[in-house]
Structure 1
Amino acid sequence: MTIEQNFDSKPSLLGTSELLFTGLTLLSIIGLSFGLHSLLVGHHHTFGTTREVPWGILITPYVFFACLSTGLCIISSLGQVFRIEIFQPIIPRTVFLSLATMATGLMCITLELENPWRVGLNALSSPHPASNIWWKTTIYSLFLIFMLFNFLALLVKNEKMARFFAIIAFITVTMGNLNMKSDMALLGERGFWNENYMPLYFLSLSTLCGCAAVILFTWAAKLLKGKPMNRAEELAIQSTGRLFMVLLLAIAYFTGIKVMGGFFPEFTKNPEAMYNLVQGNFFLNFWIGEVGLAVVLPLILIGVAGVQNRTTMAIASISCLVGSFVLFYDLVIVGQLIPHYYQYNVVDLPQYYPYSPSLHEIMITTGAIFFFLAAFIFGEIVLKKMKIKS
């Protein structure tokens, strides 16, 4: 694969791209300004978190974008690391999307912390190798650097160097993703995150989201430019669509395990949380978001229209990504709502701890999403100047 400058002066919607980038950037600034306000006045005044529920909705975009970045890295590695030729046309865009999503995720976790500057200082001055969270921060920060060098190497047409950084990034982010279960299960030793299938679940879900993002944003990029996909890109997207279909079936299996845990307590380590998810206060999130949008609707759309229908595939991808975001929200929040020592029937202990996102948390989350969309448009403006030949 070679990359060269494209000086084609054929009219396109590049002006529209620049307007979109400006608009999305302004919306992102508005949302993220709530995060800066929280840093100034204190999170205890602006966030809905409590001592009992210390992780709020801002952990959701962090986990979502970090897992999405992992999946995008895996998809790009199919062509870049494992040299599967059919995936090579989508490497540059996929690498950039992986870079942008990880940057968005790390930005979310930074704004979630009340003293984020301590992370960098203490991580270097007093590292704690026995801490899962220290490893997670270090691994994802290194991954961001490796993917940046990977993308820059692609831009300067140094394919050998790009593949070197791609291999390191692939190994690094896979380690971080497999560590996700232990990272989340530390919080009060909540069994909700400590199921044995969680490492494989996170890896499968990340790759599923990566497939959905590749399909959606490749379709959006071509729509934005007003140009159809070439034959090589069509074959790459169709292959990604087939992998997407297989992973949907895998996630359907894991969703079935959740359903079993919600109806039959003996199948889960935290039956109270699973009941709250499947039959309790979060049942709409579960059945509409996790089951309907994330799995069932995409399966129906792809099963009816096939992987050749690009618009239908894009709709299926949007549905899957929205459902996955709801899934990650449930994954972060539901386990925390079960009171500690609930099994001892403590007097005046509530059945569930309360939590609802504050305005600041919602605005920061919205700002982060707009930030990623603005980054995608910016990437397309940059890639517009490059012509890819396979």
Structure 2
Amino acid sequence: MNFLTINGKMINSRGDRIWVITTGLFCLIGLIGLTNFLIQGHDAYNVHRQVPWGLLISTYIFFGLSSTGLCLVASLSRVFGLEPFEVIGKRVIVMAIITLVAAFVVIGLELGQPLRMIYNIISPNLAAPLWWMGTLYGLYLTAIVVAFILMTKGLHRYVGYAILVGFVSGIVKHSTLGSVFGLLDARLWWQGPFIPISTIVAAAAGGCAIVILLLAHRYYREKMPRDVDQAVRTTGRIFTILLGILLFAEFWKVMTTIYGGIPGKHDAMMILLNGPMALHYWFFAVFLGLLLPFILLLATGGKRLEISVVAAISSLIGLFFMRYNMVVVGQLVPLRPDVDRAHPITGLVSYNPSATEFAIVIGGFGLCLALYFVASRVFNLDAEAARH
């Protein structure tokens, strides 16, 4: 028996019901977190003066990277001329919009006064990386929304221009986001060119993972068309290469940090290698995020969809923890141990996310699931006419 209809499309399968119930539960948890935040304000979060950036910041970065990665995948057809990706462009772009909306919602709830973002327009600071990041986010969102509108209107000859703007602004905005960390000389864990570059590669890897999951979900009850199957296989091969690059970069990041022994930077790395966040690093970030999906994809060549799905899920979990590790570990080494409430034994500052922070993050994922579910029924995400 049908219990809901969206745009004339009925929700009557077991999978649809599970999706709706799961999404509703996630959104309900998020609303509980939002309510607690509105009542208590920032006191509902466990961030403090020594660790002002916590779980919500890392989640914002994760969603933002996911959006950019999806746009990069969409650009493979419109910008670089890889035809297999043309048939999935509309679905990929709509998910890029959705994940960016989720990023804005999460960061909006982290900011004490989100309405003050208006000063980004009326009082710009051209010397601040944060101003450039916010401005580029606006340009990027405009570009991908325009691209999606052009796709739905059938104006495919103009889509490439919008995707190109989204591609360029997406790359620049995330390198700028990385520079927000990389330019902080006081925090040696972040300082340097590694983060601005690695975030772009991680974004592309996350985008490939999400594309595999989107298409596997779309065709889990029917045979995947040949052109879509080709796109998935190609995405899997690109995904494998990107994971290999991330593994290589991570190895040398660890080696150079340990060998250099730079105070602050070395201390932060040891928190990950054999300190309080070792499980986050070795199991979630390295094993689930990089090593396991790389081995699975390398062994199958991206030809087995079920294995690619497992690799994609594993990688997304790991990428989420990688963003959390990047943000939090850089703040656990105290700048002034005598006054920064450092632990008397470990010498580190402590931070554990509150229940409200966890609830808002779960709500962010629920928002993504809900918006994608609605979009897949309001729009025909499969229709993609040939370019003119």
TM-score (normalised: structure 1): 0.89
Distance 1:210 1:61 in 2: 15
Q: Does 1:222 align with 2:195?
A: no
Match of 2:177 among 173, 176, 180: 180
Match of 2:147 among 150, 158, 177: 150
What is the number of residues matched between the two proteins?
A: 376
Distance 2:222 2:303 in 1: 17
Cα distance, 1:296–1:122 mapped onto 2, change above 3 Å: same
- The aligned counterpart of 2:29 is 31
SS at match of 2:384: strand
- The aligned counterpart of 1:59 is 57
CA contact (8 A) 2:67 2:96 kept: yes
- The aligned counterpart of 2:251 is 256
CA contact (8 A) 2:181 2:195 kept: no
- The aligned counterpart of 1:75 is 73
Q: Does 1:124 align with 2:127?
A: no
Deviation at 1:356, TM superposition (A): 0.5
Q: Does 1:247 align with 2:242?
A: yes
Q: Name whichever of 152-161 and 138-147 sits farther off.
A: 138-147
Deviation at 1:44, TM superposition (A): 3.5
Cα distance, 1:307–1:235 mapped onto 2, change above 3 Å: same
Deviation at 1:182, TM superposition (A): 1.7
- The aligned counterpart of 1:198 is 195
Cα distance, 1:27–1:140 mapped onto 2, change above 3 Å: farther
- The aligned counterpart of 1:141 is 138
Match of 1:46 among 28, 44, 51: 44
Distance 2:30 2:139 in 1: 24
Partner AA of 1:319 in structure 2: S
Distance 1:30 1:282 in 2: 30
CA contact (8 A) 2:90 2:382 kept: no
Deviation at 1:348, TM superposition (A): 7.5
Cα distance, 1:285–1:92 mapped onto 2, change above 3 Å: same
Match of 1:90 among 88, 92, 96: 88
- The aligned counterpart of 2:4 is none
Match of 1:358 among 350, 354, 357: 354
Distance 1:188 1:357 in 2: 26
TM-score (normalised: structure 2): 0.89
Matches within 5 A, 1:342-357: 349-350=342-343, 351-357=347-353
Q: Does 1:328 align with 2:323?
A: yes
Distance 2:27 2:52 in 1: 26
Cα distance, 1:349–1:321 mapped onto 2, change above 3 Å: closer
CA contact (8 A) 2:88 2:382 kept: no
> Alignment RMSD, CA only?
2.5
- The aligned counterpart of 1:5 is none
Deviation at 1:292, TM superposition (A): 0.4
Q: Does 1:161 align with 2:158?
A: yes
- The aligned counterpart of 1:273 is 268
- The aligned counterpart of 2:3 is none
SS at match of 2:189: helix
Distance 2:208 2:263 in 1: 29
Distance 1:387 1:321 in 2: 27
CA contact (8 A) 2:184 2:191 kept: no
Partner AA of 1:178 in structure 2: S
Distance 1:233 1:58 in 2: 35
Deviations 1:189-234 (A, max 9, x none): 31111233222211111111111111111111212xx222111011
- The aligned counterpart of 1:109 is 107
Distance 2:11 2:34 in 1: 34
Identity rate of aligned residues, in percent?
28
Distance 1:347 1:299 in 2: 40
Distance 2:367 2:151 in 1: 23
Deviation at 1:243, TM superposition (A): 0.6
Q: Does 1:310 align with 2:310?
A: no
Distance 2:154 2:341 in 1: 66
CA contact (8 A) 1:262 1:278 kept: no
Deviation at 1:306, TM superposition (A): 2.6
Deviations 1:272-298 (A, max 9, x none): 111111121111111101110011111
Deviations 1:153-206 (A, max 9, x none): 100101122222111111111110111222124668311112332222111111
Cα distance, 1:368–1:304 mapped onto 2, change above 3 Å: same
